[in-house]
Amino acid sequence: MSSLTLTRTIDAPVARVFQAWSDPQFMRQWFFPGEMRCEATLDFRPGGAYELRMIAKDGEYVHHGHYREIVDQRHISFTWNSHVATDTLVSVTFESIGERTLLTLVHSQFQEPEQQRLHEQGWTGCLTNLDRFFQNAGRESGEEVKS
């Protein structure tokens, strides 16, 4: 089995970044790679289920699972099932660095290297959109956006 680890510094406080992962209204605005849209439903509590429908021009990609652990503004872990990998595990940690957040995502239990490669591309696209989401939020509120 293999895993992947991605880190990203997000230009927003931990409380806001955590909310982007825990509120379906926010998730719909960034939780997809590339040019798609997302429909998100979730029961954000340990044992609660979630479903993400990433809708692209060429079709719909459904991801689903259950939350295993939630530590407010610090950590989320959940099972992950997609069209290319089942019974994998995602862990996201949030670390405050002033008004910014160091986010670390670990996706583990891949059975095949191709599953890992495809998910690394997908997660990289999602985290790029998360960056854009906060950059756009800063512009809309009149805050200066740092690069």
pTM, entire model: 0.90
Predicted pLDDT of residue 138: 63
Taking 50 as the pLDDT cut, the residues of the chain under it are: 141-147
Per-residue pLDDT tens digits for 109-136 = 999 999 999 999 999 999 999 999 999 8
Predicted pLDDT of residue 142: 44
Q: What is the DSSP string of the chain?
A: -EEEEEEEEESS-HHHHHHHHH-HHHHTTT-SSSS-EEEEEE--STT-EEEEEEEETTEEEEEEEEEEEEETTTEEEEEEB-SS--SEEEEEEEEEETTEEEEEEEEEEESSHHHHHHHHHHHHHHHHHHHHHHHHHHHHHTPPPP-
Predicted pLDDT of residue 35: 87
Predicted pLDDT of residue 102: 98
Predicted pLDDT of residue 140: 55
Predicted pLDDT of residue 100: 97
Predicted pLDDT of residue 139: 57
Domains and their CATH numbers in the chain = 2-138 (3.30.530.20)
Distance CA 88, CA 68 (A): 12
Predicted pLDDT of residue 51: 98
Predicted pLDDT of residue 144: 43
